[in-house]
């Protein structure tokens, strides 16, 4: 089945010959050097789940225990696979992080997903983890961190890319979920494909869309049915529910970073499948949940403001957590493919409070960093010619009302200078149960 017809903006004279991401040197090297592993996990009630994953470890870090190394778990969106994160995994592993990108198994509910993920982490001997999730992957990460009884103690932080905290809108626009169970495979894949852009795009975005079409085609029917059901079961993570996670289950989450793609200044910018309304609701949810719980607030006062019963204790010295918002201009649906260096920089800033071991691993790494070629210099990947029309202002993180610069495009090789602090209106179109 053919995917959407994605136009590609005319490249400037002298630009390298186009090579699809799936045939690019960096992807071929990743697949050659990093094995796709499978692990079968059995939960308490006897059911078994098969997880597929890539485990990217820092080079020359044998002197550091894997169990104590900062570990980032990447969960893909509704049509994604573990391979979608190959560029981000290659970049971050060169910086001292262990990155595990997963293909999660078909499940029937969010709690069943949490049970299987908990057993998967146990099988890898991972006590605590940082989770990066895109769209549906981000929602599953939030549910595991704040609702699942075991996940509340395992998750240290969240990076949510174009994600949401409620599936209510998808459920309202899917009148009959039973359709998923009997629909033919081509019809299910068409549901996923029709939310991808079908217009002329800059080369980096067009390449990422083409790659994701190939990934959707590789998904099994059972996997697609499961993900569509997870995306349309009506469930909302409210500020009260998030606060309750800290008082009832001693939630370990210390930081949440919301990464959103915003429109580029040109007319070829990519529309994000998750609507602006859903992303705004997610931001407002965390702002309300964490607003009264800052390091400068007395724990007793914070507990009272959060509706916590007298005598209850708050973890982390009275601090529930902090939320940060970050924006990538022209990042599209999949910034981990189209704007890898910018996203990697944001993840590193997010991980600063937890990254002492990562810095030690980075210091002992080989001079050339990672064995996989740099995603920013290979054919078929974004380079300077792809971003000529983009603003070259320094990338920034937005924390509350303050704008904190975190780099300068002129003096670092990790940033292409396409991240911006002011949000733009991004038209979403995921109103049919897929994103």
Question: Packing angle between helix 86-93 and helix 340-350, nearest 10 degrees?
Answer: 50
Tell me the backbone φ, ψ of residue 260, rounded to 5 degrees: -125, 145
Say yes or no to pLDDT of 117 above 50: yes
> How confident is the model over 178-218, as pLDDT tens digits?
788 888 999 999 989 988 887 778 888 888 999 999 999 99
Domain definitions of the chain by residue range: 7-420
Give the pLDDT band of residue 140 (cuts 50, 70, 90). very high
How many other C-beta atoms lie within 10 A of the C-beta of residue 28? 14
- What does the DSSP 8-state code read for residue 310? T
> How confident is the model over 341-366, as pLDDT tens digits?
999 999 999 988 886 655 655 555 54
Give the pLDDT band of residue 61 (cuts 50, 70, 90). low
Rounded (5°) CA angle 228-231-233: 105
Q: Residue 137 has which token pair? A: 């992957």
Predicted TM-score (pTM) of the model is 0.77
Say yes or no to pLDDT of 392 above 50: no
Instruction: For domain 7-420, give the CATH superfamily.
Output: Alpha/Beta hydrolase fold, catalytic domain (3.40.50.1820)
> How confident is the model over 80-114, as pLDDT tens digits?
999 999 999 999 998 888 999 999 999 999 999 99
Contact 100, 124 (CB under 8 A): yes
Alpha carbon distance 330, 263 (integer Å): 5
- What are the beta bridge partners of residue 36? 54
How many other C-beta atoms lie within 10 A of the C-beta of residue 16? 12
Return the exposure string of 187-219: e unless at least 16 CB atoms fall within 10 Å of the residue's CB, then b: ebbebbbebbbeeebbbbbbbbbbbbbebbeeb
What pLDDT does 65 receive? 67
């Amino acid at each position: 089945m053919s995917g959407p017809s994605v136009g590609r903006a005319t490249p400037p004279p002298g630009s390298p010959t186009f090579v699809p991401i799936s045939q690019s040197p960096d992807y071929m090297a990743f697949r050659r050097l990093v094995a796709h592993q499978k692990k079968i996990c059995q939960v308490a009630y006897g059911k078994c789940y098969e997880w597929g994953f890539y485990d990217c470890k820092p080079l020359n870090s044998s002197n550091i225990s894997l169990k104590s190394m900062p570990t980032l778990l990447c969960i893909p969106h509704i049509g994604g696979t573990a391979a979608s994160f190959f560029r981000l995994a290659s970049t971050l592993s060169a910086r001292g992080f262990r990155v595990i990108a997963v293909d999660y198994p078909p499940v029937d509910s969010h709690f069943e997903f949490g049970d299987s993920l908990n057993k998967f982490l146990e099988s890898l001997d991972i006590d605590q983890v940082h989770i990066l999730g895109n769209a549906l992957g981000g929602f599953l990460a939030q549910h595991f961190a704040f609702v699942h009884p075991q996940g509340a103690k395992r998750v240290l932080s969240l990076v949510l890319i174009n994600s949401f905290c409620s599936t209510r809108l998808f459920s309202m626009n899917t009148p009959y979920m039973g359709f998923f169970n009997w629909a033919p495979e081509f019809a299910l894949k068409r549901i996923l494909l029709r939310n991808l852009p079908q217009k002329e795009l800059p080369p980096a975005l067009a390449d990422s869309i083409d790659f994701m079409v190939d990934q959707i085609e590789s998904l099994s029917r059972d996997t697609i049915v499961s993900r569509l059901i997870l995306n349309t079961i009506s469930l909302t993570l409210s500020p009260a529910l998030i606060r309750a996670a800290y008082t009832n289950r001693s939630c370990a989450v210390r930081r949440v970073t919301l990464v959103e793609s915003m429109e580029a200044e040109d007319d070829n910018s990519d529309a994000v499948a998750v609507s602006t309304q859903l992303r705004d609701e997610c931001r407002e949810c965390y702002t309300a949940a964490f607003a009264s719980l800052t390091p400068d607030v007395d724990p007793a006062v914070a507990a009272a403001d959060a509706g916590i019963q007298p005598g209850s204790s708050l973890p982390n010295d009275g601090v529930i957590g902090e939320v940060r918002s970050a924006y990538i201009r022209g990042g599209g649906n999949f910034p981990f493919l189209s704007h890898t260096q910018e996203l990697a920089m944001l993840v590193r800033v997010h991980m600063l409070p937890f990254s002492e071991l990562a810095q030690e691993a980075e210091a002992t790494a080989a001079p050339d960093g990672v064995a996989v070629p740099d995603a920013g210099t290979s054919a078929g990947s974004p380079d300077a010619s792809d971003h000529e029309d983009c603003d070259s202002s320094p990338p920034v993180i937005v924390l509350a009302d303050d704008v904190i610069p975190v780099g300068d495009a002129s003096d670092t090789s990790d940033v292409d200078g396409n991240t911006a602090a002011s949000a733009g209106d991004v038209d979403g179109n995921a109103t049919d149960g897929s994103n």
